[in-house]
Structure 1
Amino acid sequence: MKYRDLLPSVLIGAVASARSMSPMGALAAAHLAGRSTPGRLLLLKQPLFTAGALMMGVGELFGDKMKTAPDRTVALGLLARVMSAGIAGAALAPKGRDRLGGVIAVATAVPLAYLTLAGRKRAMRRIGQTRSGLVEDAMIVCSAVAIVLAVSRKR
């Protein structure tokens, strides 16, 4: 195995740093489209989990624009990032390297949450909360979809 084989886990961790539910939403959408990941993702065999992952991903995009939305670095926000990055990082890792992929994704997501928050706050001062959120949404959702599509295969 080469280190670059774990790049999708690193990248999905970066996605989770900005939008905690986007990795799971992208995996759920890929599953519904008949795609599978190199690592096992048993949770997606449960229709309720798949639907929940999609709804939470979409809900987060709307909730982020609210003035009362908490920073991504509060305890629950970091916990959501740890869980989502860990699951998605494991699913995108090479077969047999799922634990390592999960750890790498979490190790990427948590520190980057602070950097992406700082970037978002700068953008909010320049173009406002809603516009900066929409730009960030577009970047993150497109990235999540691209990463999952690059690694997943048709079943």
Structure 2
Amino acid sequence: MNSSRLWPSALIGAVASARSMTPMAALAAARLAGARTPGPLLLLDHPVFKFGALAMGAGELLGDKMKSAPDRTVFLGLLARALSAGIAGAALAPRGKARAGALIAVATATPLAYLTLAGRKRAMAGLGQTRSGLIEDALVVGVGAAVVALAVRPRP
């Protein structure tokens, strides 16, 4: 298997490590724009899931700035990251490589969640929660959008 073709899956896993819903929101936005993914992504073809993913992505960006927001490494946070990374990693993998794409994305997202949390805590100490969160949002959303844009193709 040519593992270099799985780079979108690994990168979307990195995105999920910082924002669990951004991969799904980026894929939903691509679907709304008429793009198709190399791998299967059946759920986001249904309008409820498509708009739900966008709403959850936006909600996560807002909720992250709250003082009561839990760390991304709590069990449910890691579970959400793994699920989102797996689904998105499979969708961005080459045809027939969905399992490998999912595994690579999850294997990237889970340990990186600890590293991105450490980086965010360091940034919070110097910039505060809101400002550091907005900077992280811009980086993560930008990378997520770029990865998806480069990996999908327009529908014929």
If the length of structure 1 is used for normalisation, what is the TM-score? 0.99
1:92 aligned partner: 92
Number of equivalent positions? 155
CA–CA separation in structure 2 for the residues paired with 1:87 and 1:37? 11
How far off its partner does 1:15 sit? Answer: 0.2
How far off its partner does 1:146 sit? Answer: 0.2
How far off its partner does 1:123 sit? Answer: 0.1
How far off its partner does 1:44 sit? Answer: 1.2
How far off its partner does 1:46 sit? Answer: 1.0
How far off its partner does 1:76 sit? Answer: 0.4
1:109 aligned partner: 109
1:130 aligned partner: 130
Alignment gaps of 5+ in structure 2: none
Superposition CA RMSD, Å = 0.5
How far off its partner does 1:45 sit? Answer: 1.6
SS at match of 2:101: helix
1:70 aligned partner: 70
- The aligned amino acid for 2:42 is L
- The aligned amino acid for 2:75 is A
Question: For 1:1-155, what aligned pairs fall within 5 Å after superposition?
Answer: 1-155=1-155
Q: Which runs of 4+ in 1 moved over 4 A?
A: none
If the length of structure 2 is used for normalisation, what is the TM-score? 0.98
- The aligned amino acid for 2:86 is G
CA–CA separation in structure 2 for the residues paired with 1:55 and 1:103? 26
How far off its partner does 1:129 sit? Answer: 0.2
CA–CA separation in structure 2 for the residues paired with 1:120 and 1:100? 29
Q: Percent identity?
A: 70
- The aligned amino acid for 2:109 is A
SS at match of 1:71: coil
CA–CA separation in structure 1 for the residues paired with 2:128 and 2:109? 25
